[in-house]
Amino acid sequence: MKILVINCGSSSLKYQFIDIETETVLAKGLVERIGIDGRLKHTPAGKDAVVKEESIPDHNKAVSMVIEALTDPEHGVISDMKEIDAVGHRIVHGGEKFASSVVINDEVIAAIEECCDLAPLHNPANLIGIHACQELMPGTPMVAVFDTSFHQTMPEKAYTYGIPYEYYEKYKVRRYGFHGTSHRYVSGRVAAILGKPIEDLKIVVCHLGNGASVCAVKNGESVDTSMGLTPLEGLIMGTRSGDLDPAILQFIMNKENLDIDGMLNVLNKKSGILGVSNGISSDFREIENAYAAGDPAAKRANDAFVYRVVKYIGAYAAAMNGIDAVAFTAGLGENNAKIRKEICDYLGYLGLKVDDEKNNVRGKEVVFSTEDSKVAALLVPTDEEMMIARDTASLVK
Ligand code: AMP
């Protein structure tokens, strides 16, 4: 069975075409600048990428270009679009309606539409992707896989905010959490790598990318996570502030003469590593270089980022009454040994010890704690697309 995995944004569309029997990626690509001008980069497995620049006015055109690329006699990997057995769509927000992936039908689409309120930037774009695929591939089964659904197992005490309960009753204001597909994949791999049933493990997954979140996984279920109603809460991220005193908003708005949209723009796009480093970069590679050159702003950003992650791990050790494993994933978690080491060095109180040689890797699965470490430390490259393809295959079979 061959699955097309689609991650649709407002002006971009990422895709992977996966053979689920062998779990191999046959091709992947990215359509960018939809509605602006248009560019498709298509990479068949084992071959060079091909780039096509032409007008892409809407997502229908983007999807039709993806189908063309997949069936192209030269760069394609199938001869007919009928070989696309199913499509898996990444959907950002499933609210409380979806605790697992589902086959898409009219009812599901209506429910995703109802969640647009909770993710006004993402869900409408995800829906456009679904509609475009339905139009161009009528009759092909489709599945929705939600960033939020893994966290629906969180207990009430973890998802409840300290605000009047009527806001939950009226508007469903609560913690939802994101990166669920990644946290699910990585925690599953941790159990497999350690050779233990996931039902017996307490795992903290640190998804450290430009967007970053930590998740407490107990007995295979998410019991807490750092992102909230939106992805703005929690860790200090590339450009997002993460946690802060809510009264800061009014204070800065008054001083800087900002309205609430302007303030949220600052918190989403100008804060985090970028803001704390006084504008060096949102990319940790540049922070590292500046830090190595002795820049105190880079050190400040680095240290504040690490400290926030460490505080969350401590909180989740308390929430789960201990930790068996800490796993690192996403751009920074997979590629930055120094950050992994700095975080783990705070965790000596848990009995975690790093083997520096084993930690000196990037982008591959490894247990990098010492043999006698009481808590296992792991690097696990995430694979959200494979998870989406697996869910899609199992639901449409
Ligand atoms: P992501 O959002 O998962 O792509 O992660 C972005 C972050 O990961 C940035 O801060 C990058 O500095 C870091 N990152 C991504 N790829 C690499 C790499 N190959 N080497 C070092 N850092 C990387």
For the Cβ of 177 lying below 6 angstroms from any atom of ligand 1, the answer is no
Whole-number Å distance between alpha carbons of 184 and 313? 17
Q: Per-residue pLDDT tens for 362-394?
A: 999 999 999 999 999 999 999 999 999 999 999
Q: Which of 179, 183, 210, 364 to mutate to test the pocket of ligand 1 (most atoms within 8 A of CB)?
A: 210
Contacts 24+ apart (CB under 8 A), 17-26: 17/70, 17/77, 17/78, 17/84, 18/385, 18/386, 18/389, 20/389, 20/390, 20/392, 20/393, 23/386, 23/389, 25/385, 26/2, 26/77, 26/78
Does a structural domain hold residue 159?
Answer: no
Domain match, 242 and 138 both? no
Instruction: Kindly give the number of the ligand 1 atom that is closest to the alpha carbon of 207.
Output: 3
pLDDT at 10: 86
Helices (H), 137-259: 156-159, 166-171, 180-194, 247-256
Ligand 1 nearest atom to the CA of residue 286, by list position: 12
Residues 126 and 225 in one domain: no
pLDDT at 352 over 90: yes
Nearest to 325 by CA among 179, 181, 184, 198: 198
Tell me how far the alpha carbon of residue 137 is from its chain's centroid: 27
Judge if 210 and 345 occupy the same domain.
yes
Helix (H, G, I), strand (E, B) or coil at 105: coil
- Total domains in the chain come to 2
pLDDT in tens, 10-55: 899 999 999 999 999 999 999 999 999 999 999 999 999 999 999 9
190 within a domain of the structure (yes/no): no
| End position of a domain, from candidates 89, 124, 146 | 146
**147 catalytic, yes or no?**
yes
The tally of CA atoms less than 13 A away on the side-chain side of residue 51 is: 4
Q: What is the mean pLDDT of residues 135-156?
A: 97
- Ligand 1 centroid from CA 284, angstroms: 7
State in Å: Cα 363 to ligand 1 middle. 11
**pLDDT of 265 strictly over 90:** yes
Catalytic residue among 147, 224, 383, 391: 147
Q: What percent of the chain has pLDDT over 70?
A: 100
Q: Are 24 and 129 members of one domain?
A: yes
Q: Is residue 63 part of a domain?
A: yes
Let me know whether 313 and 243 are in one domain: yes
Statement: residue 180 has pLDDT above 90:
yes
pLDDT tens column, 61-100: 999 999 999 999 999 999 999 999 999 999 999 999 999 9
pLDDT recorded at residue 98 = 97
Residues 203 and 338 in one domain: yes
- Predicted pLDDT at 37: 93
Which structural domain, as residue segments, surrounds residue 205? 195-379
For the chain, what's the residue count? 397
Tokens (6 digits) for 248: 């800061």
Q: Tell me, what's the pLDDT at 121?
A: 84
Tell which of 146, 181, 209 closes a domain: 146
Considering the domain architecture, whether residues 133 and 227 belong to the same structural domain is answered as no
Distance between CA atoms of 330 and 328, rounded to whole angstroms? 7
Q: Mean pLDDT score of the chain, rounded to an integer?
A: 97
Residue nearest to atom 19 of ligand 1 (CA): 335
Q: Do 222 and 368 have their domain in common?
A: yes
| Cβ neighbour number for residue 193 with a 10 Å cutoff | 17
Which of 137, 153, 78 has the alpha carbon at shortest distance from 104? 137
Q: Kindly report, residue by residue over 107-133, the tens digit of the pLDDT.
A: 999 999 999 999 988 999 999 999 999
Residue 10 and residue 141 share a domain: yes
Pocket test for ligand 1, best of 285, 291, 385 (most atoms within 8 A of CB): 285
Same domain, residue pair 336 and 227: yes
Indicate if 140 and 246 belong to the same structural domain. no
pLDDT in the model for residue 99 = 97
CA of 335 to the centre of ligand 1 (A): 7
User: Ligand 1 pocket check: which of 282, 336, 362 to mutate, most ligand atoms within 8 Å of Cβ?
Assistant: 336
